[in-house]
Chain A
């Protein structure tokens, strides 16, 4: 298992080319993955990572080049064929069936052939076993769609872990996972590695790259910039390879920004809650201040944001904005009142895939202005272009259907829509899910700058570093309860971890 793995590559991709209208997504890319290695595939948003692995796994047809599996040329024309060849994939956007149960999602199409008929007892046992390998305990008879993105992601991973797997491809599997789930996943990856399975791992978390990978390949603008053993590439080198420039001092810039001032209270929740969803909580958002929302997976972060936004109805407590208490909160009323919300699940709740980037970006603005006063086309184009430039969304033009953007760039469109509506209160749920290192720093900076301009922000995130970097104050969640607040000045990673863990000690 030395980094310089010799011998026969399990997968060899040679001179792969793929062109989409207006974009050369891959240009003569070579990639070799050896048995028993974890190969990190890195690059900016839109670099071509997902496209490359979609070609390997039969989800896309290549325009040129060849693929060899154990030295034999193969022509993978569908994900089904890929599975037959032992290539299992977890795609970036969960592509399971939300209306079906967890059991069905884990077993359908996998057991059918062998048993002829489906034995549900067997299927449930199998599903249970797959999930327990990941340390996941959920009700497997519930529909998949009733779980959070992170949980759906875990189910997708569990599905891909198959005995016949020879190549495992993971496209940003940890994008919405917490430390614990990530650790469990890495444990399994190490097991699989020991069994000689070749693993491709895409992520934007550099810590994870150094923790788990043996070799690294970096893509930029559809070109392979370099490949090498992880131990021989420093963090700085890696960032420079990915971005084509140094990251600079952004990371330290925002830490110095911390606020203590007291802005006007723009949103207050008193005893706001909902039975079986969230215990009543108090929270105040002030102009010019960012409040972080930390907690483990399933602790109720998303639910807090949705309650404040009116996407979930509360059944107790009062929510007040500057104008007074809010009755019958709804997303539309919240937006009209000057709020904006970025949902964590961009595919299911964020974007309208068929519509263009421009149409997605102006949607909230237009909803705010009402249906009668349509924003003139020229203004729409100007706003869309501004946002594309400000957030560096990689696209040939604003008319591209948003579903054709890379994952990270789709995430930027969700942010752009919220920004374009010029809100005074912004509720961000996992705002940087799937966003690359360069853009990540810029988005945190953007958040800080918005605060300076007097916006009130709520930033919910599973990444503690992000919470620490972005927020002045942090509210901590556990078991669907807000267990406390960390005041400005005391916001550190350790303090948050201690508070999250705090009560557990007491209970023993």
Chain B
């Protein structure tokens, strides 16, 4: 009917969504790194020391892995119009399971599976509360957020809890080791990213989660099993947090439920949002979420090397995040555009 083909395409004042979504987070990352380069001359140098890569860029990637993994799971849950505040507690629980089973003398690859299984159970718990009972996601996951670290401490008590530290070639290899110059956790992170991407994008699960997040009633009437799909989102999020728990626990050689990964849920949510995700749900951007996690880690690292007192850390982080978010908002951008161009009344 409408013969759209002959209509001239408008000159790109509004770029196609695909391009401008990635633009601002990438730009923010670039600006942070350039500022770093100006502050510290050798910032971009990468050396090989004792058979592995060293340098600030590698360091940022290395430290970003746990946050990025948690953020990827968070992106899935947020896509379903939910949120998972309990990821820090899930990390604490999976860490406690590792220390406990190592003291019990299990084979270490079994311990890895047990830790991940524990995180899946945590995800199922959240999924049950949200999808099964219908509790609002913030409240539902708050329950595990508050109680999870206590559960971790109870697990430590199972073997007396006097010395939760441990050594494990397998787990520490995964976390702090390296393979062909490259830190193993980067490889592990990449593998998990690809695996998650395949599950989300190569099956219809991603589409279903986005449908439920966008309009649950409509998705249901279109034949999508909204409850099951929501449940799956929390299980995926739990599992991703579990992997982060393995990396963080092996890194510190100990189970420390009280303080491991404190506030990681906030960094994860921020990473998702910087990556263009909306808490209103309906879209999952996995790649952009990783960029979001890198922005956050690059900021933290830059504040460290800049020599500013660490008290500034959170404030600067807040300012930069606010800046990126404002730039991302279409509304704000049009306003700013109007002001800059003299403002069409």
A351 within 8 A of B: yes
Q: Contact: A343 with B221, CB < 8 Å?
A: yes
A359 proximity list for chain B (CB < 8 A): 207, 210-211
Q: Contact: A331 with B282, CB < 8 Å?
A: no
- Chain B 204-235 against A: per-residue CB contact (8 Å), 1 yes, 0 no? 11011011001101111111110001000000
Q: Contact: B7 with A374, CB < 8 Å?
A: no
Q: Contact: A44 with B210, CB < 8 Å?
A: no
Query: Considering residues A44, A349, A350, A363, which has the most beta carbons from chain B within 10 angstroms of its beta carbon?
Result: A363
CB distance from B1 to the nearest CB of A (A): 4
Q: Contact: B224 with A394, CB < 8 Å?
A: no
Provide the bound-state CA to CA distance between A19 and B13, in Å. Answer: 11
B311 within 8 A of A: no
Q: Contact: A21 with B14, CB < 8 Å?
A: yes
Selected from B2, B207, B218, B345, the residue in CB contact (under 8 A) with A366 is B207
Provide the bound-state CA to CA distance between A343 and B221, in Å. Answer: 8
Q: Contact: A348 with B10, CB < 8 Å?
A: no
Provide the bound-state CA to CA distance between A19 and B14, in Å. Answer: 11
B210 proximity list for chain A (CB < 8 A): 352, 354-355, 359
Provide the bound-state CA to CA distance between A46 and B282, in Å. Answer: 25
Selected from A20, A24, A372, A394, the residue in CB contact (under 8 A) with B1 is A394
**CB-CB under 8 A for A353 and B215, given A221-B3, A331-B221, A366-B207:** yes
**CB-CB under 8 A for A363 and B214, given A21-B16, A22-B9, A23-B4:** no
CB distance from A247 to the nearest CB of B (A): 13
Q: Contact: A332 with B224, CB < 8 Å?
A: yes
Selected from A309, A363, A439, the residue in CB contact (under 8 A) with B224 is A363
**CB-CB under 8 A for A332 and B211, given A392-B1, A394-B1, A438-B1:** no
Provide the bound-state CA to CA distance between A350 and B223, in Å. Answer: 11
CB distance from B269 to the nearest CB of A (A): 19
Q: Contact: A394 with B204, CB < 8 Å?
A: no
**CB-CB under 8 A for A355 and B4, given A349-B221, A364-B223, A367-B222:** no
A349 proximity list for chain B (CB < 8 A): 217-218, 221
- With CB as the reference atom, state the residue of chain B lying closest to A418: B222
Q: Contact: B207 with A45, CB < 8 Å?
A: no
- Chain A 284-310 against B: per-residue CB contact (8 Å), 1 yes, 0 no? 000000000000000000000000010
Q: Contact: A371 with B217, CB < 8 Å?
A: no
Total count of chain B residues near the partner, CB < 8 A: 33
Q: Contact: B203 with A372, CB < 8 Å?
A: yes
Q: Contact: A348 with B223, CB < 8 Å?
A: no
**CB-CB under 8 A for A22 and B203, given A332-B224, A368-B223:** no
- With CB as the reference atom, state the residue of chain B lying closest to A370: B204
Selected from B7, B202, B221, the residue in CB contact (under 8 A) with A24 is B7
Query: Considering residues A20, A46, A354, which has the most beta carbons from chain B within 10 angstroms of its beta carbon?
Result: A354
**CB-CB under 8 A for A22 and B7, given A44-B1, A371-B203:** yes
Q: Kindly count the residue-residue contacts between A and B in the assembled complex, taking CB atoms under 8 Å apart.
A: 117
B205 proximity list for chain A (CB < 8 A): 371
Chain A interface size, as a band, is: 35 or more
A335 proximity list for chain B (CB < 8 A): 222-223
Provide the bound-state CA to CA distance between A46 and B224, in Å. Answer: 29
B2 proximity list for chain A (CB < 8 A): 44, 46-47, 221, 394
A341 within 8 A of B: yes
Q: Contact: B202 with A352, CB < 8 Å?
A: no
B149 within 8 A of A: no
Selected from A309, A355, A392, A439, the residue in CB contact (under 8 A) with B282 is A355
Provide the bound-state CA to CA distance between A221 and B7, in Å. Answer: 10
B283 within 8 A of A: yes
- With CB as the reference atom, state the residue of chain B lying closest to A369: B204
Selected from A19, A47, A311, A332, the residue in CB contact (under 8 A) with B10 is A19
Query: Considering residues B204, B205, B219, B345, which has the most beta carbons from chain A within 10 angstroms of its beta carbon?
Result: B204
A277 within 8 A of B: no
- Chain A 363-407 against B: per-residue CB contact (8 Å), 1 yes, 0 no? 110111111111100000000000000001011100000000000
A417 within 8 A of B: yes
Q: Contact: A352 with B4, CB < 8 Å?
A: no
B208 proximity list for chain A (CB < 8 A): 366-367, 371
Q: Given A23-B7, A221-B3, 13 more contacts at CB 8 Å?
A: A44-B1, A335-B222, A335-B223, A348-B215, A349-B218, A355-B214, A369-B204, A371-B205, A372-B204, A373-B204, A374-B202, A394-B2, A438-B1
Q: Would you give 20 A-B contacts (Cβ < 8 Å), ordered by A?
A: A21-B16, A46-B2, A47-B2, A75-B345, A309-B221, A331-B223, A341-B221, A343-B221, A348-B215, A351-B215, A351-B218, A352-B282, A359-B207, A366-B207, A367-B225, A371-B205, A371-B208, A371-B229, A372-B203, A439-B1
Nearest 9 CB-CB pairings of A with B:
A367-B223, A335-B223, A394-B2, A352-B214, A354-B282, A363-B222, A371-B204, A392-B1, A374-B204
